[in-house]
Amino acid sequence: MALEVQIAKELPDFTLDVRFRAESGAPLSILGPSGSGKTMLLRCIAGLERPDHGRIVLDDRVLFDSERRVRVPARSRRLVLLFQHYALFPHRTASQNIAFGVRNLSRVDREKRVAAVVRRTQVAGLEHRYPRELSGGEQQRVALARALAIEPGALLLDEPLSALDAHLRSQIEAQLQETFAEYQRPTLLVTHNIEEAYRLCDQLLVLSRGRIAACGAKEEIFQRPPSLEVARLTGCKNFSKVKAISADSEEAIVEATGWGCQLRVAHRIERAAHVGIRAHHIDFEEAAIPGASTENTFPCWLARSSETPFRTTLFLKLHEPPVGSSSEFHLQAEVFKEKWERFRDQPVPWHVRLPPASLFLMPH
């Protein structure tokens, strides 16, 4: 089973113009900044908005085709859009909310269906409560159970974790992982949270002002972003313009003009314009090792740092100490607190290594 989408729709600031395919058993996360068209895309697929032209097909069933003038109503598309604010009926209990979409079944079949999704979504014990009597996480589970009760052909989720605190977000994220593993039908998850997208889905679609900037396996997009824009949208903080020095069939030597150094990069591309590295891929040489390679290794000084409970972000100046403003730095490195405690008091300059396999080149 697959969901095929090829649509265009004029919006006030840009045109939503996308083409992609979501397969069963491979949840697809749609990542992008606010206002990039993510929610509108889901609403078009669900039938709540009408594209200007294009085609939407679910398991060989045409839901929308502008040329053939096919537009299946939202209520008949047999897919579910789960909103970030749950949209539960306040005057119905949890079990009544869950049963709402299957009220056409016989009483026995309806009760069996509700009981099955209650077990799967850990709603047991909440069936007789009203939404006002449920926590945010409980409401989200009830909304998920209601969505799954109709056995939809595709599941669409719009920022399902955004309204939850950190503890509840972790619980519902675990629930979604279990649901995705069992569901085995096309699933789209809209989010602007990079880590959430990576943890929950195998495939990633990066949306920017209505256009697909990247689409494919998440590991490939994070390790080899196809453009500077995609690297930024997937959380990379470190970039420099480059000039090519030499290249063979696989590797490249480039001058990172913004960082003032030459680098060996393990994966070459044609017409490279920028080089990047993710903050957690930067290595620190904690002690000098006689005879060790100094390739891609440079002296650095700390311009400033920023701490979270478990990690520290270090803003580093290469080659010479920063003078004056703490905004004078070349690289951001992220390290766990334990590592930071080991070398924070070591004499400067420290030495950072930019592993060739962790560097990536981009054409624009």
pLDDT of residue 326: 66
CA separation (Å) from 133 to 97, 136, 137, 345?
Answer: 14, 10, 12, 52
Residue 246 sits in the same domain as residue 294:
yes
Parallel, antiparallel or unpaired: strands 61-65 and 211-217: unpaired
Provide the CATH number for the domain around residue 151: 3.40.50.300
The whole-model pTM stands at 0.88
For residue 349, is the peptide bond before it cis, meaning its omega torsion is within 30 degrees of 0?
Answer: yes
pLDDT of residue 286: 64
For residue 27, how far is the Cα from the chain centroid? 11
Question: How many domains is the chain built from?
Answer: 2
Closest CA to 120 of 57, 168, 170, 178: 178
Closest CA to 186 of 199, 169, 202: 202
Residue 154 sits in the same domain as residue 84:
yes
Residue 7 sits in the same domain as residue 62:
yes
Residue 313 sits in the same domain as residue 351:
yes
pLDDT per residue rounded down to tens, the chain (364 residues): 899 999 999 999 999 999 999 999 999 999 999 899 999 999 999 999 999 999 999 999 999 999 999 999 999 998 999 887 767 899 999 999 999 888 888 989 988 988 988 888 888 899 999 999 998 888 888 988 888 888 899 999 998 877 677 777 788 888 888 888 888 899 999 998 898 999 999 999 999 999 999 999 999 999 999 999 999 999 999 999 999 998 777 899 999 999 999 999 999 898 899 999 999 999 998 655 555 568 999 999 999 999 988 999 999 999 999 987 667 899 999 999 998 998 889 999 999 999 999 999 999 7
Residues in the chain: 364
Residue 171 sits in the same domain as residue 295:
no
pLDDT of residue 324: 73
pLDDT of residue 239: 96
Instruction: Kindly provide the residue ranges of all beta strands, DSSP E only, lying in 1-59, ordered along the sequence.
Output: 2-10, 15-23, 28-31, 53-58
Domain boundaries, position 243: 236-364
Residue 213 sits in the same domain as residue 257:
no
Q: How many CB atoms lie within 10 A of CB 273?
A: 15
Domain end marker among 173, 194, 228:
228
Residue 102 sits in the same domain as residue 124:
yes
Residue 114 sits in the same domain as residue 240:
no
CA separation (Å) from 311 to 66, 248, 280, 329, 340?
Answer: 51, 38, 10, 19, 8
**164, 144 Cβ separation under 8 angstroms:** no
Residue 141 sits in the same domain as residue 31:
yes
Residues 6+ apart with CB under 8 A from 289: none
- Torsions phi, psi for 336 (to 5 deg): -70, 155
